[in-house]
Amino acid sequence: MKIYYAHCLSIYDAPQEKRDLEVLKSLGFEVVNPNCPECAEGYKKEGMDYFRRYAEECEAIAFRALPDGRIPAGIGKEIRMFKDRNKPAIELPSGLLSRLMSIEETREYLMETCTR
């Protein structure tokens, strides 16, 4: 299955990009990575419209948000392209340890949200 890997330019060629590619490949995906010379040239000529063909070519999109959880506009546009075609979007997790709840926090949450 082909998956498009949407990520911010700031992590192109960074260790995070390498880790993400390894994870996606280990899950059995054939990864289409926009971090390539051909894509850079296509973007210069056509802007974000260049990447539309990937929405047709790939069955899903995997994306990485910024460390604070926000999603840059370009990645958002790519996610919408896939969602408009009823193709799945998979968010690569970040900040997992900072989001872990303690036992007390978990109990409090359950008491506030459970209807039983």
pLDDT digits (tens, 9 = 90+) for 62-116: 999 998 889 999 999 999 999 999 999 999 988 777 778 899 999 999 999 987 6
Architecture of domain 2-113: 3-Layer(aba) Sandwich (3.40)
The domain locations on the chain are 2-113
- Please check whether residue 50 is in contact with residue 42, taking contact to mean a CB–CB distance below 8 angstroms: yes
Quote the pTM value: 0.82
